[in-house]
Structure 1
Amino acid sequence: MTEGRIPAERRRRKPTRSGVVLSEEVIVDCALRLVGQHGPDALSVRRLGAALGCDPSALYRYFHNTDDLLLALADRIIGEAQAGFEPDGMPWEEGLREMALRVHGCYRKHPRVAAMAAYRVTRRLNEFRAVDTGIGLLRRAGFDDASAVRYYAAFIDTVLGHAALDAAHLALPVERRVADDRAWVGEYAELSPRTHPHLAAARGQLPLMGGSSFEVALELLLAALVAAASGEGV
């Protein structure tokens, strides 16, 4: 049994008032839906109990507390990102690229959860598999164990950092998100070349600041890893 998990004998098998048979999967499904609709405040045993038609105390048979549940949500997203991912038959750098795109895409799909959990360590099966896969790809590239671990940490932190930024942007109210994006063709475009010469010179390209820089950062990082694997250094 994974350390900290709730023993199976404590889990409920009778249907709730709404006819739902509780399980970790059912609770995580409900929590993902509620957080997606209502934000972080929805992650409470009271709201989950109401949505599932059960006494809130029943949820403690599956999760120690809401932080334990948050880690399960994060691990679910990691699992979604890995579904169908089989990197063994592709070059190592292509495997890392696909892994990064999958993780980033799944966090964008669940932006409110991503903003809460992208920086957490889930200590669960999907994360174990993902870390093993990533380090394995870098060992296949020829890096020694210490380098593979160090470079994987840099790789996944870059991916998750951008995922959290982009997710937080998506989780903003629409009017705030639009205002932030418009700033690059509004306030920034109006700055004087006398006070901000470089911004004025690059005025036509500033809208690029409004999009995600994730793919650019990913390609820069992959290029550095390819160079390091060929002996050119990072």
Structure 2
Amino acid sequence: MLVAQLSSQVLPKEASLSEGLTLLWQHPQIRAELKELFSLLSDRLNHLQSMTPGGDSIPLAPHARYTRLEILAACLPEDRATAPVWQTGVRWLPESKIDLLAFTLDKTKGQFSPTTRYRDYAISRDLIHWESQSITRSQSETGVRYRNHSKQGSRVWLFARESVSDRAFWFLGPAQYVSHEGEQPMAITWRLKQTLPGDLFQTFAAAVG
């Protein structure tokens, strides 16, 4: 994830992790600055964080924050140094069988059109209301995958940020389909496997209040 964040703009997309690490090691001044930064950031942790439950090897911790690039880098094969561009709110990773759903809570700011002002919010500390893309029907391949992800062996991971000015998203963790209403978009209720901390729930509630 670190290598992808630092080198995605300078390495070819086929570059290996070894090539990325070699590039980083050629710049001792950057390594020294990172060492200082890591020490500083460790003092700013405000949530107890553990890796994704279920023994998953993907290094994402619920209730930590990640950029889109970091999220994709974490989910890619381990020998990759760069991550592809991700600009939309949804991303299906067929190799990992994971649906990544990233949404913005406060849509009063930014370039949200009437067709992209989806109603996404926390219902409670363990339930999330989320709306799919406006083209998604319940019987489409994507809609069926959302509804039957447990039976089909795929996973759904939720990421949320307060506003478009935030580069990073809070990782809410894995989620389980509960129900949905309508289509185009589908209004889906997801149940989080890890309950939201009280402060995040209050923040999310205020962002859409």
Measured against the shorter chain, the TM-score band is under 0.3
Question: Which one has the bigger helix percentage?
Answer: 1
Give 1 or 2 for the bigger CA radius of gyration: 1
TM-score, scaled to structure 2: 0.22
Given the two structures, how large is their TM-score scaled by the length of structure 1?
A: 0.21
Return the structure number with greater strand share. Answer: 2
